[in-house]
Amino acid sequence: MIVVTGATGVVGRPLVEFLVGDGADVRAVTRDAGAAKLPDGVEVVEGDPRSPATLAAALEGATGLFLHPRAAGDASAELAALAKERGVARVVALAAVNVEDDPADQPSRYRGDRNKEAEDAAVGSGLEWTSLRAGFFALNTLTMWGGQIGAGDVVHGPYAEATEAPVHERDLAAVAARALLTDDLVGRRPVLTGPRSLSYAEMLAAIGQAIDRPLSFREIPPDAFKAHMMGIGLPEAFADAYLAAIVKSVGRPALVTGEIEKILGRPALTFAEWAADHAGDLRASGG
């Protein structure tokens, strides 16, 4: 029995599907079971990983725990300790490629994500552990550009030549399933990137191909972009950290580790495959 926190999210939902497909019993944790829409055969557990006591019963009899940093927030260590107390043998944390950077330089921390804490909780749990240090999610492009794509063919942003190696969420989920169901990744912190470094302009062009639209990237000054981010409610510190992070990548290839290919024994999914998988969402984006 595997307990999955963050089960209704970007990584958790395909993870639940992979685990079920592999014949594992799954308890999927959500704060709202009525809205969860999880596959048949999954035991849906209502609870909040930020209040670990709400998961005490769900952890009973489980062999593995997927520890999701956004779902668990500051409670990762408490949740991992409770898992140990309840007899769970293994914890697999989702973390991020930048967990060792100065916390002030990690944009996601300003939005409340606690990737380092999730990794530290797993490593220090006394259980078999794995920490999945994920790189830039391909899905970020939908979040960043969806509204603009819905409004027209030009996407405005600060640095057309900034680079990422976007990773498909299905690959992250497939690796997480491998870590939970086999011994391959015990005691490891693989850095999981997509298979190729792409500029922002190249990612947008790939989306254009997938949805058959002539999308183009138009640079705007970083200050104008910062004002836009703050206008949609993002904290100023997040905007500053994000811009500082991406400017460093301009004109430099993003890190590509090849770990997904090594772990799964097949090529990592490309950004073009991701865009094709999400063509419907991309076409519908922006309303």
Q: Rule CB under 6 A: which residues touch ligand NAP?
A: 6, 8-12, 30-32, 36, 48, 50, 68-71, 73, 94, 96, 108, 113, 115, 134, 136-137, 140
Judged by CB, which is closer to ligand NAP: 108, or 197? 108
Task: Give the nearest residue (CB) to ligand NAP.
Answer: 9
| H-run or E-run covering 30 | strand 26-30
How far apart are CB 191 and ligand NAP at their closest, in Å? 10
How far apart are CB 161 and ligand NAP at their closest, in Å? 19
Judged by CB, which is closer to ligand NAP: 32, or 183? 32
Q: Give the CA distances from residue 126 to residues 59, 86, 87, 120, 175, in Å, rounded to whole numbers and listed in that order.
A: 16, 13, 11, 11, 22
d(CA 285, CA 191): 30
Nearest Cα residue to 73 out of 3, 170, 173, 6: 6
How far apart are CB 72 and ligand NAP at their closest, in Å? 8
d(CA 273, CA 204): 13
How far apart are CB 106 and ligand NAP at their closest, in Å? 8
d(CA 87, CA 263): 27
Judged by CB, which is closer to ligand NAP: 113, or 128? 113
Judged by CB, which is closer to ligand NAP: 50, or 170? 50
Judged by CB, which is closer to ligand NAP: 108, or 270? 108
Pairing of strands 64-67, 43-46: unpaired
Interacting residues of 249 by C-beta distance below 8 A, sequence separation 6+: 159, 162, 163, 164
| H-run or E-run covering 134 | strand 128-134
Judged by CB, which is closer to ligand NAP: 144, or 213? 144
How far apart are CB 214 and ligand NAP at their closest, in Å? 27
How far apart are CB 212 and ligand NAP at their closest, in Å? 26
d(CA 21, CA 92): 19
d(CA 101, CA 99): 6
